[in-house]
């Protein structure tokens, strides 16, 4: 935010460090690094030790950010955020697997009372990385043993 925009919003008599960071457009850690270098004013402290900035310090800090000349008179280059963030790429939802053939085979082996959710959970427990590339007989044997062991069927 520039000093002119801040003037449009009317500068308050005192603002917090968080608000100062928001106005300048940087994180608190980066802001405090610049405070240690002398680029920005160090905050004043209230009676309860809470840091704050008065209106003239806010204006000076905003001017330093806009001009690239710190309050100590030294030149400083700031990393400019573009405002555009790349969205996080999430994996598309996996299509629901059809376990009807597996349920039929488990019924043939003597298991009853099976639901799709129960079989799906058993497959997930036995094969957390998925069943792609695994033979059907191996899946049937492993899921059957799992269901017998946990006693759900």
Contacts 24+ apart (CB under 8 A), 139-142: 139/102, 140/102, 140/105, 140/106, 140/109
Question: Average per-residue pLDDT in the chain?
Answer: 84
* For the chain, domain boundaries: 3-67, 100-150
Would you give the DSSP letter of residue 75?
B
For residues 136-145, average pLDDT: 92
Q: Does 63 score more than 90 pLDDT?
A: yes
- Residue with the bigger pLDDT between 83 and 75: it is 75
Q: Does 94 score more than 90 pLDDT?
A: no
For residues 57-76, average pLDDT: 92
* Whole-number Å distance between alpha carbons of 79 and 27: 12
* Whole-number Å distance between alpha carbons of 102 and 115: 11
Note the pLDDT tens digit of each residue in 73-82.
Answer: 999 988 776 6
Q: What is the CATH number of domain 3-67?
A: 1.10.1660.10
Hey, what's the torsion of the CAs at 47, 49, 53, 55, to 10 degrees? -10
């Amino acid at each position: 935010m520039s000093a002119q925009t801040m003037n449009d919003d009317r500068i308050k008599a005192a603002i917090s460090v968080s608000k100062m960071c928001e106005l300048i457009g940087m994180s608190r850690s980066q802001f405090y690094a610049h405070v240690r270098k002398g680029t920005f004013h160090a905050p004043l402290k209230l009676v309860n030790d809470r840091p704050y900035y008065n209106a003239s310090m806010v204006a000076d800090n905003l001017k330093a950010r806009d001009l690239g000349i710190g309050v100590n008179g030294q030149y400083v280059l700031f990393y400019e955020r573009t405002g555009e963030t790349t969205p996080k790429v999430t994996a598309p939802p996996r299509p629901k697997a059809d376990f009807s053939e597996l349920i039929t085979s488990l019924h043939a082996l003597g298991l009853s009372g099976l639901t799709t959710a129960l079989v799906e959970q058993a497959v997930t427990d036995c094969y957390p990385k998925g069943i792609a590339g695994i033979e059907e007989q191996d899946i049937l044997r492993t899921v059957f043993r799992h269901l017998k062991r946990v006693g759900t069927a």
